[in-house]
Amino acid sequence: MKHTLKITLLIVALFLIAQLVGLVTVNRHIQVFEDVQTGAITIEHPDTLLGPPAEVKYKSASFLLIALLVLIGTGLLLLLIRYRVYRLWKLWFFIAVWATMAVAFGVYINWIIASVLAFALGLWKIYRPNVYIFNFTEVFVYTGIAILILPILDLFAAFGLLVLISIYDMYAVWKSKHMIKMARFQTKTKVFAGILIPYSISPKAAPLKDGKKAKAKARSAILGGGDIAFPLIFSAVVMEYLITSRGLEKSLALGLTGLISLFAAISLLILLAKAEDQKFYPAMPFLSIGCFIGYIAILILI
């Protein structure tokens, strides 16, 4: 097992909470309309604090655009790592955290209040971090990302995105290893995108041969932000598909889509249980399999 049982269960629980909170928020955000004459069901995405929803001409190919943006973002982060521009990374991260949390909060409360609350939590998260505020804010960061990206995706693009990101994740962890480099950089700067759970420093260190004691080192268990965001985006697209193409009510579509989150969480649990300590693994291939199994389960049920 890669981590202790307690840490493993905490990671899986936080992942599942992020998925479910995201789905509930997206479900509340979208507006469903039915044409009285034709019976056709459509979904509209209301404006967010950042403005009108994004639009693309060909939704089925949008996953290629998202993948390109991921590569560009990765390249910029690697440049910051190379030249150790820590302040710029913190500023970039703060803006992203503030914007996405404000979008998520804006589904429930006034935009101005949402913006101020997100600003305050973003400052707290980055400049006075603790494990509780760090992981609490992460839940809403990926909810906001899903709300912003959802309008440009359809079901085909959602499948394509998971496949492409899974292949990229395997390459980045096992081949180029730059994903490991980025994770270490983010952990070192205490500005990490994803779930982060620190181990407690043990008061009892193992004695060495000369009678001295080994210095205890702090350690953290992490799950990257993409590993949270992409399954949530896929689930949100499936939820919309169930509403528009299968004619399900919003509440029923939400409940069924929760199966994807559940199977993704189970796949994450299996990965962490089978993984070896001190080794890095690409989580997206396993999470994608869980998402696909969840989707098949939904089709069987309906």
Among 161, 178, 145, smallest CA distance to 77 is for 178
pLDDT number for residue 254:
97
Residue 178, class by beta-carbon neighbours within 10 Å (0-12 exposed, 13-18 middle, 19+ buried)?
A: middle
Residue 204 has pLDDT above 70, yes or no: no
Calculate ∠ Cα 151-291-197, nearest 5°: 95
Among 203, 247, 215, smallest CA distance to 42 is for 247
Contact 261, 19 (CB under 8 A): yes
Residue 85 has pLDDT above 70, yes or no: yes
pLDDT number for residue 266:
97
What does the DSSP 8-state code read for residue 107? T
Calculate ∠ Cα 16-90-87, nearest 5°: 160
Residue 35, class by beta-carbon neighbours within 10 Å (0-12 exposed, 13-18 middle, 19+ buried)?
A: exposed
If pLDDT is split at 50, 70 and 90, which confidence band does 286 have?
very high
pLDDT number for residue 229:
95
Q: End-to-end CA distance of the chain: give it in Å, rounded.
A: 36
pLDDT number for residue 1:
79
Token pair for residue 13? 């629980």
Calculate ∠ Cα 227-230-235, nearest 5°: 125
The single residue listed with the structure tokens 């096992």 is: 174
pLDDT number for residue 246:
92
* Mean residue pLDDT across the chain: 88
* CA–CA gap between residue 41 and residue 34 (Å, rounded): 4
pLDDT number for residue 218:
57
What percent of the chain shows pLDDT beyond 90?
61
